[in-house]
């Protein structure tokens, strides 16, 4: 029977996906990546879950790829491993549910990539983020995709070239992290944020998340053309009609499933 390296549990309308291999610093091995994809798919298929928290056990969020696995692999195996990692990141991105990374320790290399790929990050005060691949001769090229899209290219390149860990407060200042809290408050703060998001219309959140990422790489004129159509589609949806009517009638909206 395959060991569970990534767990999933529902807490009401919030799904909790947990990296659970603290003895190996929650490395993103082939098995862990496959399970991560499966657990995220389970969260989306749950039917009740409206927001996902991605957390980890132990003192490390994730140390990234399993280097021993990479060294021992054939060229074809390395190609499929990195493709699987990209698939896991795109699963986070394409999930209709918002995903909040709850980072309690260091998130390094592909672990930093995973956190940065999530829609939001809540970090403990003693957490840190790093892309140190250059120190071992393996530039963090795929993590660069994620971090360069949430902070300035200059800051991203500094992380990639110096390999220096970025403390949580600095990560918040440069746009990598949304909120920094004492470690004792991390789980409660993240869950409160998730429940706030889960209170919104799941249809609207899913449409909005996709639209946000679809427009962000476009020039302004193309972005407006795309989002105008999204607004039209959204405005005629039952949840939008219900929400607007509820506002006008000064009552709480009742969202569809």
Give me the tens of pLDDT residue by residue for the chain, a chain 257 residues long: 679 999 999 999 999 999 999 999 999 999 999 999 999 999 999 999 999 999 999 999 999 999 999 999 999 999 999 999 999 999 999 999 999 999 999 999 999 999 999 999 999 999 999 999 999 999 999 999 999 999 999 999 999 999 999 999 999 999 999 999 999 999 999 999 999 999 999 999 999 999 999 999 899 999 999 999 999 999 999 999 999 999 999 999 999 87
Q: Which of 3.90.226.10, 3.40.710.10, 3.50.50.60, 3.40.50.300 would CATH assign to domain 6-198?
A: 3.90.226.10
Residue 257 CB coordination number (10 Å): 7
Rg value, the chain, Cα? 19
Q: Which of 55, 93, 20 is nearest to 190 (CA)?
A: 55
* Beta carbons of 80 and 168 less than 8 angstroms apart: no
Residue 220 CB coordination number (10 Å): 8
Structure tokens at 120: 């939001």
Parts of the chain belonging to CATH 3.90.226.10: 6-198
Parts of the chain belonging to CATH 1.10.12.10: 202-248
Distance of CA 257 to the CA centre of its chain: 23
How far CA 132 is from CA of 21, 76, 106, 137, 141, in Å, comes to 21, 24, 12, 9, 11
* Beta carbons of 116 and 123 less than 8 angstroms apart: no
Q: Which of 3.40.50.300, 1.10.12.10, 3.40.190.10, 1.10.10.10 would CATH assign to domain 202-248?
A: 1.10.12.10
Q: How much is the pLDDT for 1? A: 66
């Amino acid at each position: 029977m395959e060991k569970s390296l990534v767990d999933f549990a529902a807490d009401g309308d919030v799904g909790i996906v947990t990296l659970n291999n603290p003895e190996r610093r929650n490395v993103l091995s082939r098995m862990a990546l496959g399970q991560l994809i499966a657990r995220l798919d389970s969260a989306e298929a749950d039917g009740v879950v409206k927001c996902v928290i991605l957390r980890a056990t132990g003192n490390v969020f994730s140390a990234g790829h399993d280097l021993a696995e990479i060294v021992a692999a054939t060229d074809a195996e390395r190609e499929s491993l990195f493709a699987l990692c990209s698939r896991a990141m795109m699963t986070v991105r394409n999930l209709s549910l918002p995903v909040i990374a709850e980072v309690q320790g260091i998130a390094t290399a592909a672990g930093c990539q995973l956190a940065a790929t999530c829609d939001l990050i809540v970090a403990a005060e003693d957490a840190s983020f790093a892309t140190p691949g250059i120190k071992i001769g393996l530039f963090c090229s795929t993590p660069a995709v994620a971090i360069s899209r949430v902070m300035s290219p200059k800051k991203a390149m500094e992380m990639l070239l110096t390999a220096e860990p970025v403390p949580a407060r600095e990560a918040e200042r440069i746009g990598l992290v949304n909120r920094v809290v004492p470690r004792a408050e991390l789980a409660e703060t993240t869950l409160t944020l998730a429940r706030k998001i889960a209170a919104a219309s799941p249809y609207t959140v899913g449409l909005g998340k996709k639209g946000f990422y679809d427009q962000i790489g476009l020039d302004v004129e193309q972005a407006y053309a795309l989002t105008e159509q999204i607004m039209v589609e959204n405005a005629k949806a039952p949840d939008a009609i219900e929400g607007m009517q509820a506002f006008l009638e000064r009552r709480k909206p009742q969202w569809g499933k």
